[in-house]
Each structure stands twice: as structure tokens, then as C-alpha cells.
Amino acid sequence: MSAPPGGRTAIVLFTRDLRVHDQPALATACANFDRVVPLFVLDPALAGRSPNRDRFLHQSLVDLRDALRERGGDLVLRHGDPVAETIRLGRAVGATGIALSADVSHYARRRERRLAAECDRHGLSLRTFPGLTVVEPGAVRPGSGGDHYRVFSPYHRGWSARRWRDEVATPARVPLPTGVEVGRLPAEPAGESPEALPGGERVGRDRLRGWLRDLDRYDDLHDDLAGDGTSRLSPYLRFGCLSPLAVARAALAAMTGGPDPAHPFVRQLCWRDFYYQVAYAFPDLATRAYRPGSRDEWRYDEKTLAAWAQGRTGEPIVDAGMRQLRAQGWMHNRARLITASYLTKELGLDWRDGLAIFARWLLDGDLPNNSGNWQWVAGTGNDTKPYRRFNPKRQADRYDPEGAYRRRWLR
Ligand code: FAD
């Protein structure tokens, strides 16, 4: 197509910020440009790593497309290298600006650098926006110097004291230029877990609304394996179907005793931000021990690893957790701690192998949280006590005293 005459056009390149509410890149483009092209590029380099997440992504894209259509726009889909496809489309529609949410992984940062270089070459301006965390990585820094916090508690104090950005309004209209070839989504991938939650901003927002009614019980219930009293919002945060800032603000507003940033639920959102700022400063978090000098020597035993992955170790609470993971593409945090500790401390296997198995199944699997938590349990990470162990029998007695969680998953 040829570039439309007059007015300014922007492309909003979506990645894992798949929503229209509190989406700074989209909102700013709609406020400042005459025409806006929302774009998602299906990147073959990222597909196929997790059938569960491939399906969740697909469902989230369908929902995003519907939300954009309701606002007069659409979701333009391309397949291939996101940088090449964005530039190609940018030239075709006569765009002058590209908007993108900033991300922390090696891959995402390399994509951003390549895009910046290509934008320079083609006279396009690239602007990055916040939106993947409550507080941007690097925005809260230790007074003593250094580019990030290594320990959670002082980070939490800085995070709570910081003035968070304002939520941005959902654009009323997304003015797509005429004549853009929209492209089609492929068929929905099958996924692997029969009980996986469906993706999308709408489902995520409904879930948040329903769950906030239980917020006051979170402190009592969040470690009760059978009680299942956590939000299960993690997959929606992983794909940006929900804005973490909007979730944190909604939780503060729903607290019956008044807003309290030290509330355990908001504190968990801070753990998420904490690992993002760690991964931003230490991009090898998925592959290299974070803490210098930590013991990082492990055994390799394929059969034992496979038995752990399939929930066949013979240790009931561990097997229950791994079976929940396979059935739901999600596992309770307490069970993640127990199964990860069992792999590294009882079986002596490498945390990277456990991380890879979690990464395949988890709907919420992402580099900062998966790696940061695995390293914490393995004793190589932040804030960690190298000799900490979670005794599976004592953990089961304490967090599944009636055995209901084990009965449910070991049937
Ligand atoms: P809630 O208890 O309702 O908490 C609300 C939100 O806070 C979560 O959705 C999540 O975004 C954040 N959060 C909670 N606990 C943590 C934590 N320990 N670290 C960072 N953020 C947290 N979480 C992921 O999102 N992706 C992962 O890949 C991941 N891998 C993990 C691996 C191991 C070995 C362990 C021990 C934990 C891992 N977690 C991961 C953290 C945590 O288990 C999940 O975030 C949580 O269970 C998600 O369920 P929820 O949404 O009901 O949590």
C-alpha cells in the first residue's frame, strides 16, 4: 500500500503487554498521532518453547484484537523477524514513530537495540515505554551505589516509598489507517495442560475483580496448599494482559483497612519487580549463578530428573506439585518451593534443569521470576541462605495438614 497523505502515523509494536487498559505505548501513540497501527509479530524464534504459553498467547491475541476492533482499530499480524517486519510495515504505512514497551531479557534488549539501529537508518523515531512492572527496573537504586538491589527488604522499602507513575487511560479510539493488510492468526495451538487458564485481558480483569473480594484473607490463606487462596493472576501478568501497576493500585484500593503497600499481596508484586531489576542488571540470571563464589556443582542423572518432572519420585508432596504443574500449567508457590528444593537439595540435580522443565509447562514462566526464584532455592541467588532446605514431610504436615492437596493430585 502507499502511504496515506497528511497526518502522522505510529506503529505500536506489542510484545508481552497484550492489553488496552493502562498500556502507555498504545495510549501515548493514540494521543499524539493521527493514525495508529497496532502490530504483533509472531516470532519463530520464540514459538514452540512452551505449548501451554503458545496457546495462552494465541488466546490473548484474539482478545486484544477484539478490544482494538471495538475501538475502531485492529491488530495487524505479521510472521518473521519483529525488527524487519516492523520496519517493512512502517515504510508501507508512512509511519514516523514506533512505540514499544521496554523489557529486560537479553533477547528483548537485543531486539530493541536492533530496532533502534534500523529506525535510525530509516528516519523513524523509536520510543520505549514502561508497563511491564509497577516500578521500572533501575528506577529504585541503593543509596550506597550500585545499579540494582541485591537484597529484597531494602528494595521493598525503596519501592514502597517511590511515587508510582499514574495509570494511563484506555484510548477511546484507535485510528487505524485504511488499506492496511491486517494478516491472520494461525489456528489455536493445542497446549499440553487440560486445566490451563485461558488467556486474554478480559478474563484477566474478571479474575482480578473476583479475586479482590478475597484479598483480606490472602495473608491467612496464601500458604495453604489445598485452600488455593492465591490470585492466579501470574499468567495474566506474564503476558501483560493485566498491568501490574493497575493490579497493585486496585489491591490498595480494595483493602478494608485502607491502602497499605506492606500488605503481603502487594509485597508479592514487589518480589516480581525485584527480580526484574535483578535480571536487568544481571541478564545471565537463567544460566549463571548470581552470587559470586556460591556452590554451583550438581549431579546429572536423566532418569531421576524425568521421574521428578513426571511426578514419580515417591515423595507425595513433590509428586503432587509436579502433577499440578502438568495438569494446570501452574503450581502453587509453596509447592514450587518444595519441588525445587527437593530437586536441588535432596536429589542434588542442577537448578537449570529444573528451571527448564518449569519453563516448558508454566503459563507464567518468565526469565526473571523463574530464574530468580530457582536461584533463591538453590542457594546461588539473591537474599539466599545456601544451606536452606525445605523438608518435604515437614512442609506437607504444615501446609497440607489434612492431605487434601496430595489426595487431589495423586489420585
Ligand atoms: P499470588 O500469591 O497471588 O501473588 C501475586 C503476584 O505476585 C503473582 O501473580 C506474581 O506475579 C507475583 N509473585 C508472587 N510470588 C512471587 C515470587 N516468589 N517471585 C516473584 N513474583 C512473585 N512466578 C512467575 O510469575 N513466573 C515464574 O516463572 C515463576 N517461577 C517460579 C519458580 C520457583 C522455583 C518458585 C519457587 C517460584 C516461582 N514463581 C514464578 C513465583 C510464584 O510461585 C508465582 O508468581 C506464584 O505462585 C503465582 O501465583 P499467583 O498469581 O496466585 O500468586
Closest CA to 330 of 15, 132, 49, 52: 52
Among protein residues, the one whose CA lies closest to atom 15 of ligand 1: 268
Q: Pick the residue whose CA is nearest to atom 42 on ligand 1.
A: 333
Q: Is 360 in the pocket of ligand 1 (CB under 6 A)?
A: no
Contact 283/304 with Cβ under 8 angstroms? no
Contact at 8 Å (CB) between 244 and 269?
yes
- Residue-wise DSSP of 36-87: EEEEEEE-TTTTTS-HHHHHHHHHHHHHHHHHHHHTT---EEEES-HHHHHH
Nearest residue (CA) to ligand 1, atom 20: 272
Residue 63 CB–ligand 1 contact under 6 Å? no
User: Can you tell me the distance from the alpha carbon of 308 to that of 346, in angstroms, rounded to the nearest whole number?
Assistant: 11
* Ligand 1 near 313 CB (within 6 A): no
Residue 143 has pLDDT above 90, yes or no: no
Indicate if ligand 1 lies below 6 Å from the C-beta of 211: no
Q: Are 162 and 135 in contact (CB under 8 A)?
A: yes
- Region 230-241 average pLDDT: 98
- Rounded Cα distance, 125 and 10, in Å: 9
Confidence of residue 2 (pLDDT cuts 50, 70, 90): very low
Query: What element of type H or E holds 39?
Result: strand 35-42
pLDDT band for position 381 (50/70/90)? very high
Q: Which domains are present in the chain? A: 9-131 (3.40.50.620), 201-281 (1.25.40.80), 302-410 (1.10.579.10)
Give burial (CB, 10 Å; 0-12/13-18/19+) of 183. Answer: middle
Q: Are 108 and 126 in contact (CB under 8 A)?
A: no
In this structure, the residue with its CA closest to atom 44 of ligand 1 is 333
pLDDT value of residue 3: 47
Q: Does ligand 1 come within 6 angstroms of the Cβ of 277?
A: no
Residue 388 has pLDDT above 90, yes or no: no
Distance from the CA of 270 to the center of ligand 1, in angstroms?
A: 11
- H or E stretch covering 194: none
Beta bridge partners of 41: 78
- The answer to whether 219 and 264 are in contact (CB under 8 A) is yes
**Residue 137 near residue 159, CB atoms below 8 Å:** no
Average pLDDT across the chain, whole number: 96
Q: Which ligand 1 atom minimizes the distance to the CA of 366?
A: 28
User: Where residue 144 falls among pLDDT bands split at 50, 70, 90?
Assistant: confident
Task: Specify the DSSP class assigned to residue 299.
Answer: B
Residue bearing the bigger pLDDT, 389 or 96: 96
- DSSP conformational letter for 82: H
* Residues contacting residue 44 through CB under 8 Å, at least 6 positions apart: 79, 80
Mutational test site, ligand 1, from 234, 343, 367, 380, max ligand atoms within 8 Å of CB = 234
250-289 pLDDT, tens digit per residue, is 999 999 999 999 999 999 999 999 999 999 999 999 999 9
pLDDT digits (tens, 9 = 90+) for 191-218: 999 999 999 999 999 999 999 999 999 9
In sequence order, the β-bridge partners of residue 39 are 13, 76
Of ligand 1's atoms, which has the minimum distance to the CA of residue 237? 11
Ligand 1 centre from 266 Cα, in Å? 12
Ramachandran bin of 268, using left for φ above 0, alpha for ψ from -120 to 50, beta for the remaining angles: alpha
Residue in 45, 332, 32, 379 with CA at minimum distance from that of residue 171: 32
- β-pairing, 125-129 vs 35-42, is unpaired
In the prediction, which pLDDT does 1 show? 45
